[in-house]
A and B are shown apart, each in its own frame.
Chain A
Amino acid sequence: MKEVFIGRENLQRLIGRWAKDYRVYVPVTFDIMNNEATPDYELVAGEVPEKLHLEGAALAHTAKSFIFYSREVVAKYPSSDPEADVEAPPTVIVGPRACDVRGLAKFDKVYWSTVHFTEEYDDPFIIEKRKNTYIVSLDCTAAKETCFCTMVGGEPYPKEGFDLNLAPIDSGFVLTIGSEKGEKLVAGSDDLVSELQSTHGQERERSRNSVTEAVNRQNADFRVEGSFDRYDLEGSPESWAYVTQNCVGCGACNRVCPTCTCFLLVDQRAKGGYERTRNWDTCLSLGYARTGGGGNSRPELLQRLDNRLRCKFEYSRDRYGLVTCTGCGRCIDACMGKIDMREAIKHVVTEKAKA
């Protein structure tokens, strides 16, 4: 992959050039209540914001929200066109981290032709947006307390799956071009980049190593025997009941997760007939597996949390050859029951070993 150097001001200019042809989202911090600086994405309208938030770890918002909307009309009937009516303007997202980028791989497996699904199952709404979305990812420069990417086969910096990647260093950024789409974003901007110096590369390695070590260090206590991609979480109902005791079934964990792909189709009246909307759904809800007449294959909350975690580690592995927990820690941050999946896995696996 081609790598160049770009200074801070020049990056600002480059983003400004994108904003002429694309919708561009950049990470900034918002002052919400208590003056806490909360980083989130902002759509560039006019000038590129002066203070971009390009350090730290993953934002609360996942990259998935840009291709998989929480609610979207997917059909209008009765008089509907066989072709999908998809609105997917070219969009650049600056700021996804490694755990977001890895999450998109699950979407590609589920929604795009893979060995499991033939082309006739391609989802136009996801694919058109995916094709028109340009991922400009970032190395993490610090870990959140809940980050554990290195425990699930990842690193705090993207290795693939991005169009451009920015690695912050003292004097600017190492810019890596990861795809043809990435080439397109830097084409005609040779005036803003320069050749990479070996010191730039060394600086980036130092930063990457130190963040990796920090993530490893903060998770040392959660390590269990065996490799994450071989976890067998078929634990006892008691161990799952213990893990689930503070779960209220709110589904916050599903919503913030970069690899939760599930949805529910809901029909309603609309102008000229009816419309079908696709809505994010959550496997933690009682109704998720409910069948006609009131049957339910997962009536207990503990069965549903068990299903969620095993979906990430076992079922996706068996189905797609992917472990679909990317260790972003968002579900831990979001949980009002303070359920930490690192502890949950450790508990289930160690109880199992004892049995």
Chain B
Amino acid sequence: MKNLYRPIESVIEDIKQETPNINTYRFRPKEPVTFAAGQFVELTVPGVGEAPFTPSSNPNVTDTMEITIMEVGSVTEALAKMKVGDTVGIRGPYGHGYNLTDFEGKEILIIGGGVGLAPLRSLILALFDDIDRYKKISIRYGARTPEDIVYKDLLPEWEKMKNTEVQQTIDEPHPDWRGTVGVVTVLLDDLPLVTTVDVDVPFHAETAIACVCGPPIMLKFVNVGLLQKGFKPENIYHSMERNMSCGLGKCGHCMLGEYYICKDGPVLTAAQIEKFGDPF
């Protein structure tokens, strides 16, 4: 029988520094590991261990995979010490991808906080590949300081895409910053409270889709904010952060009630998690 726990050897092809503690790595797996936007993989740093990450590259590119990773603990710190040419392991993909056919013809709001924009990048790139299918893409991104912003070079490019806007905020005022200041929820302020389809407003909450990824506290407040603005719980997609060991619906670590976040998620809708109160 096939061994589910085996990492596939993957070579680090490129390392790009995004912020002082976040790098984007490009890996070339020795056997193809294809994924859909929203799915994740388990990355092995040899001898140290595994951790779950959502690729940040375009899912339509299949021979390599990029992952944007923040240094926070044992696996990510060990990875930060590795160099181009070194070998890591990858297994997956796991979980469900976003159902992009459900997004067609709709306004899509993408909200990221900190390194949380990384998993959303694969979604953004997948949307860009079929941009005419979607009515509008609005990317709203919050970072702590200007220095902590990831994809500094890509954000201006994204803004140039058809039907796409990018809004950014930083938590505290900073001498080099001209834009919005405040935690990411301030980027919801321009969303109208009540909308009707024929009025020209930035978003029609009753049909729009929201995809959210960031620290738990951000998810909590964005969730409340979006519901207040009239977003439907089944249209709000949260990337749930949980401890994960296997990624296979077996080890139990990621469980939330009867859900295995690794298997039923990692993205769950606000409707699916409603009954847990504040599960972030």
A: residues with CB less than 8 A from B are 74-75, 77-78, 80-86, 110-111, 116-117, 120-124, 127-128, 261-269, 273-274, 276, 278, 281, 283, 288-293, 295, 297, 307, 310-311, 314-316, 318-319
Given contacts A265-B246, A267-B48, contact A124 B1 (CB under 8 A): yes
| Interface: B7 (CB within 8 A) | yes
Q: With CB as the reference atom, state the residue of chain A lying closest to B91.
A: A75
**Residues on the A chain within 8 Å of B72, using CB:** 292-293
B251→A292 contact, CB < 8 A? no
**Residues on the A chain within 8 Å of B6, using CB:** 75, 77, 80-82, 84
A315→B73 contact, CB < 8 A? no
B241→A265 contact, CB < 8 A? no
Bound-state CA distance A123–B247 (Å) is 13
B: residues with CB less than 8 A from A are 1-7, 9, 44, 46-51, 70, 72-73, 76, 87, 89, 215-216, 241-243, 245-246, 248-253, 255-258, 263, 279
B249→A83 contact, CB < 8 A? no
**Residues on the B chain within 8 Å of A266, using CB:** 49
A–B complex contacts, Cβ < 8 Å, 10 sampled: A75-B6, A122-B1, A123-B250, A124-B2, A261-B250, A283-B252, A289-B253, A297-B242, A314-B257, A315-B257
A124→B250 contact, CB < 8 A? no
Q: Does more than half of chain B's interface fall in helix, strand or loop, or is it mixed?
A: loop
Bound-state CA distance A83–B47 (Å) is 21
**Residues on the A chain within 8 Å of B46, using CB:** 77-78, 267, 273-274
**Residues on the A chain within 8 Å of B49, using CB:** 265-267
Given contacts A77-B44, A78-B46, A110-B250, contact A265 B243 (CB under 8 A): no
**Residues on the B chain within 8 Å of A86, using CB:** 1
**Residues on the B chain within 8 Å of A314, using CB:** 257-258
Given contacts A274-B47, A293-B73, A319-B258, contact A262 B2 (CB under 8 A): no
Interface residue from A265, A269, A292, A311 paired with B5 (Cβ < 8 Å): A265
**Residues on the A chain within 8 Å of B44, using CB:** 77, 267
Bound-state CA distance A341–B279 (Å) is 25
Given contacts A75-B6, A273-B46, contact A84 B245 (CB under 8 A): no
Q: Does more than half of chain A's interface fall in helix, strand or loop, or is it mixed?
A: mixed
Given contacts A82-B2, A292-B76, A318-B257, contact A116 B242 (CB under 8 A): no
**Residues on the A chain within 8 Å of B243, using CB:** 288-291, 297
Interface core residue of A77, A264, A290 (most chain B CB under 10 Å) = A77
Q: With CB as the reference atom, state the residue of chain A lying closest to B87.
A: A78
Smallest beta-carbon distance B161→chain A, Å: 31
Bound-state CA distance A123–B248 (Å) is 9
Q: What are the 6 tightest A-B residue pairs by CB atom distance, in nearest-first order?
A: A262-B252, A124-B1, A84-B3, A318-B258, A293-B72, A319-B258
Smallest beta-carbon distance A323→chain B, Å: 13
Interface residue from A81, A264, A316 paired with B3 (Cβ < 8 Å): A81
Bound-state CA distance A117–B4 (Å) is 13
Q: With CB as the reference atom, state the residue of chain A lying closest to B76.
A: A292
**Residues on the A chain within 8 Å of B87, using CB:** 78
**Residues on the A chain within 8 Å of B256, using CB:** 297
Interface residue from A263, A292, A307 paired with B246 (Cβ < 8 Å): A263
Bound-state CA distance A75–B9 (Å) is 13
A124→B255 contact, CB < 8 A? no
Bound-state CA distance A122–B70 (Å) is 32
A120→B50 contact, CB < 8 A? no
Smallest beta-carbon distance A337→chain B, Å: 22
If A84-B6, A261-B250, A263-B245 are given as contacts, then 12 extra A-B residue pairs at C-beta distance below 8 Å, sorted by A number, are A77-B7, A77-B9, A78-B46, A81-B6, A83-B1, A84-B5, A122-B1, A262-B253, A263-B250, A266-B49, A281-B253, A310-B257
Bound-state CA distance A276–B3 (Å) is 12
B242→A265 contact, CB < 8 A? no
Smallest beta-carbon distance B124→chain A, Å: 23
Given contacts A263-B251, A315-B257, contact A74 B9 (CB under 8 A): no
Bound-state CA distance A165–B50 (Å) is 43
Smallest beta-carbon distance A233→chain B, Å: 12
Bound-state CA distance A291–B263 (Å) is 17
Q: With CB as the reference atom, state the residue of chain B lying closest to A77.
A: B7
Bound-state CA distance A80–B250 (Å) is 22
Given contacts A82-B3, A84-B3, A120-B2, contact A264 B253 (CB under 8 A): yes
Interface residue from B1, B3, B73, B252 paired with A261 (Cβ < 8 Å): B252
**Residues on the B chain within 8 Å of A80, using CB:** 3, 6-7
Bound-state CA distance A111–B279 (Å) is 26
**Residues on the A chain within 8 Å of B50, using CB:** 265, 267
Bound-state CA distance A85–B70 (Å) is 34
Q: With CB as the reference atom, state the residue of chain A lying closest to B46.
A: A274
**Residues on the A chain within 8 Å of B248, using CB:** 121, 123
B1→A75 contact, CB < 8 A? no
Smallest beta-carbon distance A338→chain B, Å: 26
**Residues on the A chain within 8 Å of B251, using CB:** 262-265, 281
**Residues on the A chain within 8 Å of B249, using CB:** 110, 116-117, 121
B5→A74 contact, CB < 8 A? yes
**Residues on the B chain within 8 Å of A123, using CB:** 4, 248, 250
**Residues on the B chain within 8 Å of A127, using CB:** 1
Bound-state CA distance A269–B46 (Å) is 8
Smallest beta-carbon distance A124→chain B, Å: 4
Q: With CB as the reference atom, state the residue of chain B lying closest to A276.
A: B5
Smallest beta-carbon distance A294→chain B, Å: 8
